[in-house]
Amino acid sequence: MTAGSTAPRTFADVYGRPPDGTWRAPGRVNLIGEFTDYNEGFVLPTTLPFATRASVARRDDDLVRVASAQYPDGTSAATEAVRVSALRPGTVTGWPAYALGVFWSLHTAGCALGGADVLVDSEVPIGAGLSSSAALECSVGLAVRELFGLDLSLEQLALAAQRAENEFVGVPCGIMDQMASLLCVPGHALLLDARSLDHRQVPFDLERSGLVLMVLDTRVRHALGDSAYGDRRSACERAAALLGVRALRDVRPEDLGAALTRLDDPVLARRVRHVVTEGARVFEVARLLEASRLEEVGPVLTDGHRSLRDDYEVSCAELDTAVDAALRAGALGARMVGGGFGGSAIALVRSGATGAVGEAVRAAFAAAGFSAPRIFVAAPAAAVAANGHPR
Ligand code: GLA
């Protein structure tokens, strides 16, 4: 492969031999249940038809190297080989930390790992709130599990990937994204209890209802997002301690009013109100999906957005513009998804209205002076092929 070429690199381009195999893990969109996972509550994500693939070959020694097909011009050759046992949190930065962190996490948990060469290739939009990090961790995790014969359930693998992100990369995320990447199946949403990791598949048949789930990627990521995620998480832990519960999941919706009167800090009270009402919205949406009343999910999503915007305060002008424009153009409901301060919103739309909604969002972005959003259909998957690739 010559420098400057734009064709993706293959494993053989980078390592001069074929991989032992390729393992795939998809991104996700969360239908409802935002910032409930680290409060030990419930979430309801669904899979995206876009994935990260890890091609991996075992090595005879205990060295590991990673490379990305997204850097075809040689700006990022494989990382320097490092002994699995020498990996330490804080020593690796950028995307390689997510891949190497999985080796670190499994090795320090006592799994017997040898060395490996890894090439990752991702079609999940990065920084769009669609879980590209978890897709990367989980594709590598699945490869390592199989190649080294590790006796780990998907739940254990998800926890190992989360630990890689928390401790090796240094992002205090919850467990939703890793569980979604490993356990979501097309045509369903995953109702997950983030405390026990109990889960069940809830039918999510958009096609039968003549509906489409659109992703409105603002393509912005405000710097505030990184610190705000941890700040919100600590605020929730502080509120739980003040209320005398293990986690905010333990505040029942019917006890919310009384709980709020016990919190002097109005900011803390708003955070609690979001988490508790959002937990109730998860069950409401799961109930509507199970009853095949998909159109009624729309207003619940929009309520979720208002709660994230006003109570959790994690939205931004671009996300609010996308949501408002989609609703004005006839979307049944819309809300921001993921960690906030940029990334994507989702809109639940009748299949005939996707063009109008897309146009309205593009026009609103242009009128506000924002750069153009990236808009695509997340589900049903068949519509995606017609609509093209999100990259
Ligand atoms: C990010 C985190 C998740 C979750 C969401 C918000 O995606 O990785 O664990 O907390 O934000 O719901």
Identify the domain boundary among 168, 201, 234: 201
Q: Are residues 228 and 295 in the same domain?
A: yes
pLDDT at residue number 276 = 98
Looking up residue 115, the CATH number of its domain turns out to be 3.30.230.10
Q: Is the pTM of this model over 0.75?
A: yes
Domain membership flag for residue 370? yes
pLDDT greater at residue 77 or residue 229: 229
Q: Are residues 209 and 181 in the same domain?
A: no
Separation of CA 7 and ligand 1 centre (Å): 33
Q: Are residues 108 and 183 in the same domain?
A: yes
Domain membership flag for residue 390? no
For the CA of 37, the nearest atom of ligand 1: 10
Give the mean pLDDT of 135-151: 98
Q: Are residues 76 and 183 in the same domain?
A: yes
For the CA of 133, the nearest atom of ligand 1: 8
Q: Tokens for 114, please give them.
A: 């040898």
Per residue in 167-203, pLDDT (tens digit) is 999 999 999 999 999 999 999 999 999 999 999 999 9
Q: Are residues 242 and 263 in the same domain?
A: yes
Integer Cα distance of 298 and 109 in angstroms = 42
Collapsing DSSP to helix, strand or coil, 134 comes out as: helix
Cα distances from 224 to residues 43, 52, 231, 313, in angstroms, run 24, 27, 10, 12
Residue 6, pLDDT > 80, answer no
Q: Are residues 362 and 297 in the same domain?
A: yes
Q: Which of 34, 36, 37, 319 to mutate to test the pocket of ligand 1 (most atoms within 8 A of CB)?
A: 37
pLDDT at residue number 249 = 98
Total domains in the chain come to: 2
Per residue in 319-330, pLDDT (tens digit) is 999 999 999 999
Integer Cα distance of 354 and 378 in angstroms = 12
Separation of CA 130 and ligand 1 centre (Å): 10
**Is 60 considered catalytic here?**
no
Separation of CA 259 and ligand 1 centre (Å): 25
**Which residues have any ligand 1 atom within 6 Å of their CB?**
34-35, 37-38, 173-174, 176-177, 338-339
The domain of 232 spans 204-378
Integer Cα distance of 151 and 67 in angstroms = 26
Confidence of residue 72 (pLDDT cuts 50, 70, 90): low
User: Which is catalytic among the residues 121, 177, 217, 303?
Assistant: 177
Buried b (16+ CB within 10 A) or exposed e, 34-55: bbbbbbbbbbbbbbbbbbbbbb
Q: Which of 28, 40, 138, 176 to mutate to test the pocket of ligand 1 (most atoms within 8 A of CB)?
A: 176
pLDDT at residue number 78 = 83
pLDDT greater at residue 95 or residue 4: 95
Collapsing DSSP to helix, strand or coil, 371 comes out as: coil
Q: Are residues 147 and 284 in the same domain?
A: no
Identify the domain boundary among 150, 180, 201: 201
Separation of CA 268 and ligand 1 centre (Å): 19
Integer Cα distance of 97 and 358 in angstroms = 35
Residue 211, pLDDT > 80, answer yes
Domain membership flag for residue 299? yes
For the CA of 38, the nearest atom of ligand 1: 10
Q: Which of 31, 163, 177, 221 to mutate to test the pocket of ligand 1 (most atoms within 8 A of CB)?
A: 177
Domain membership flag for residue 281? yes
Confidence of residue 224 (pLDDT cuts 50, 70, 90): confident
Domain membership flag for residue 372? yes
Separation of CA 113 and ligand 1 centre (Å): 29
Integer Cα distance of 291 and 382 in angstroms = 23
Integer Cα distance of 349 and 210 in angstroms = 9
Per residue in 331-359, pLDDT (tens digit) is 999 999 999 999 999 999 999 999 999 99
Q: Which of 30, 159, 173 to mutate to test the pocket of ligand 1 (most atoms within 8 A of CB)?
A: 173
Separation of CA 338 and ligand 1 centre (Å): 5
Separation of CA 327 and ligand 1 centre (Å): 24
- Identify the residue whose C-alpha is closest to ligand 1 atom 8: 173
Residue 299, pLDDT > 70, answer yes
pLDDT at residue number 281 = 98
> Going along the chain, which residue ranges are E strands?
21-32, 42-58, 63-68, 82-83, 116-122, 188-193, 199-203, 211-221, 333-336, 342-350, 374-379
Integer Cα distance of 206 and 289 in angstroms = 10
Q: Are residues 75 and 185 in the same domain?
A: yes
Output the average pLDDT for the chain.
93
- Identify the residue whose C-alpha is closest to ligand 1 atom 9: 174
For the CA of 134, the nearest atom of ligand 1: 8
For the CA of 131, the nearest atom of ligand 1: 7
Q: Are residues 208 and 175 in the same domain?
A: no
pLDDT at residue number 76 = 55
Domain membership flag for residue 166? yes
3-state secondary structure 340-360: CCEEEEEEEEEHHHHHHHHHH
For the CA of 43, the nearest atom of ligand 1: 12
Q: Are residues 210 and 154 in the same domain?
A: no
Domain membership flag for residue 43? yes
Collapsing DSSP to helix, strand or coil, 245 comes out as: coil
Domain membership flag for residue 4? no
Q: Are residues 277 and 289 in the same domain?
A: yes
Give the mean pLDDT of 65-70: 92
pLDDT at residue number 9 = 82
Q: Are residues 238 and 345 in the same domain?
A: yes
pLDDT at residue number 383 = 45
Identify the domain boundary among 151, 176, 201: 201
Looking up residue 297, the CATH number of its domain turns out to be 3.30.70.890
